[in-house]
Amino acid sequence: MISFWKQEVGLKQTQRLERDGWANVVQPTRTEIEQLVHQYKVPEYVINDILDPDERARTEIEGRWMVVIIRIPIYRPDNSVQFFTVPFGLLISLHTIISICAEPNEIVNDILFSHRTRNIRLDDKVNFVLQIFLSSANYYLKYLKEVNRLTNEIESELEKSTRNSELHRLLEMEKCLVFFITSLKSNELLLNKLQRSKLVNSQEINEDLLDDVTVEYKQAIEIAKVYSDIQNGRMDTFASVISNNLNMVMRRLTTITIILMVPTLVASIFGMNVPNGMEDSPWAFSVLALVMVLLSVIGYLLMRNRKMF
């Protein structure tokens, strides 16, 4: 899908790409890719790079386009891995901005509709790129908090569970943190490279915005590292917890088996087809049943005294 935007009071959607306008491309079809290639002269291999889910964050010059690819966070609650990252490409020319992403994302919505970015200007392309960086950093922080919340929920379930499903979910959260840390570091390196680039005139940069972006990324990286370290400790701890829970279950089952073995032994002895002195007694069954119950109670009390229950 391609949508076109121009600068007015805020951003207004249009029917075509105008001067100093922005074309936002999400999940492009083959027809839309051909439109980008033939109508707007975007190199096809650049589009393919941006749509590659494993593409790294980088910047380069391709003809009249300055290409900036960053990795942004995505949240899909219906996926096996709920949090992951994808490339988000910005193609910037003298009077045009084109953004391309393979997944619908909150970054674009934040730029279009958030009150924090309503003063954004499409003709100020350097600070537009910084605004994309800032928005992505904010969503990294937001999703990191959600990862931590979900991890705490899994932890509560894991304390009383002997199944592997919670461990699998914990592994998925660890995978999300690995994705985030890797992408955050690559974005930070890209940001530093853009600051040093001769393509960016330092006088054009909003220093306050640049400071905000730098601080947000450093904070996101530190939080992700802390969560990842905690997660690694949790994995080892809860693997031991599950093993201990299983040992407790097996110990109780063994204790119950031992208690039931005593009356079974009595019944087996007196059930043998040999004289035992009680074969003619009318009270034999009642006496043996009472003995079996008493032995079972004694066995239970002994096991409980040894804290086997």
pLDDT at residue 57 is higher than 80: yes
Within 8 A by CB and 6+ apart from 220, the residues are: 137, 140, 141, 144, 180, 184
> Residue 158's closest CA among 229, 245, 233?
245
Q: Which tokens belong to 7?
A: 């600068």
In this prediction, residue 199 carries a pLDDT of 52
Q: How far is CA 216 from CA 129, 209, 235, 273, in A?
A: 15, 11, 28, 85
Percent of the chain at pLDDT exceeding 70: 86
pLDDT tier for residue 97 given thresholds of 50, 70 and 90: confident
Residue 223's closest CA among 156, 130, 151? 151
Confidence check: pLDDT of 257 > 70: yes
Please list the residues that pair with 85 across neighbouring strands: 73
Residue type for position 299 = G
More confident residue, 4 or 134: 134
Give the pLDDT mean for 65-75: 88
Name the residue ranges covered by the structural domains of the chain.
2-244, 249-305
User: Within 125-164, where are the H helices?
Assistant: 125-158
Check residue 243 and give its pLDDT.
Answer: 75
Mean per-residue pLDDT over the chain, rounded:
80
The whole-number pLDDT of residue 203 equals 52
Radius of gyration from C-alpha coordinates of the chain: 33
Complete DSSP assignment for 263-286: HHHHHHHHTSSS--S-TT-TTHHH
The whole-number pLDDT of residue 274 equals 66
Greater confidence, 278 or 168?
168
According to CATH, the topology of domain 2-244 is Beta Polymerase; domain 2 (3.30.460)
Span 279-288, average pLDDT: 73
Tokens 């730098």 belong to residue: 214
Model-level pTM? 0.73
C-alpha 211/C-alpha 106 separation (Å) is: 22
Nearest of 173, 187, 174 to residue 135 by alpha carbon: 187
Residue 78 has a pLDDT of 80
Cα dihedral 207/213/216/218 (nearest 10): -90
Region 249-305: CATH code: 1.20.58
The pLDDT, as a whole number, for residue 276 is 66
Contacts of 105 (CB under 8 A, 6+ apart): 26, 72, 74, 86, 88
Q: How far is the C-alpha of 224 from the C-alpha of 151, rounded, in Å?
A: 13
Query: Identical fold at 2-244 and 249-305?
Result: no
Please determine, for residue 38, whether its predicted confidence score (pLDDT) is greater than 70: yes
Straight-line distance from the first to the last Cα atom of the chain, in angstroms, rounded to the nearest whole number: 63
